[in-house]
Amino acid sequence: MKLYTLDHSPYSTRVRAQVRHKNLPIEFVCPRELRNEALKTTFPLGQLPVLQLDDGELLAESTVILNYLEEMFPQYPLRGKTALDKARANMFVRWSDTHLAPVMTPIIREAALSGTRSIDGAVDSVRKELHKLDRLIISQPDCRGRDMHIGDMCATVSLSFLQAVFELCSSKSLFDEFPVIEDWWKHSLQRNPALLQSVDEMLVGIAGWLPIPGRLDTYPAQGLLSRLTLTEKVV
């Protein structure tokens, strides 16, 4: 199987983290030559990630791929054992895709065009979604007393992406007002080497994809990488 992916994409990153977590023999392919119409005509829904099965069939959308791989490869499960466990995990996925994504998408689009100005105007909308996540984390069993689930993985990747864009564009931190979120985020990364590696890879990809004048030289050597010390060995 092959996973068509982009290093800087949070949706591709969540699937790469799952593949690594399960130690699956799936090749990562970054189709840099595919853009615009070529991408649309090659892949079903015209965007990445896309999983190519052994028989050539293509599966699109990160959540579709995540669910397929969980069904096909139950080792090192990420959905939980009970119906309640699965529902709890899905709430985090839904926060990432239904609540944060509509806020994050225009920020990313505008940041690529105008840099800092778009970020400064988006702080309040982002803060509103972080308050939702803060309440969600508090309402769930302590992350230190349960296994990591797919919702942790998806939300951690989305937060890391958004924080990286904020740092790169305007040196702002999203976590200063949310110690519960920062603790959960750090714990998620530190306890899962596959997730850690994939987020590290994404951060480096973001720096090349969104080079903001005056910031590229200090990112990601500073910011998230140094704050979390992602390059240290995880035990």
Q: What is the mean pLDDT of the chain?
A: 84
Distance CA 8, CA 102 (A): 18
The residue ranges of DSSP E strands in the chain, in sequence order, are 2-4, 27-29, 50-52, 58-60
Residues 185-205: tens digit of each pLDDT: 989 998 999 999 999 899 888
By C-alpha distance, which of 118, 200, 185, 122 is closest to 148?
A: 185
Give me the phi and psi of 221, to 5 degrees please. Answer: -60, -30
- Catalogue all structural domains in the chain, each as residue range(s) with its CATH number: 2-72 (3.40.30.10), 83-228 (1.20.1050)
Query: Which pLDDT belongs to residue 232?
Result: 43
Distance of alpha carbon 27 from the chain centroid: 19
Distance CA 38, CA 75 (A): 36
Query: Which pLDDT belongs to residue 112?
Result: 66
Query: Which pLDDT belongs to residue 139?
Result: 96
Taking 70 as the pLDDT cut, the residues of the chain under it are 32-40, 111-120, 170-171, 211-235
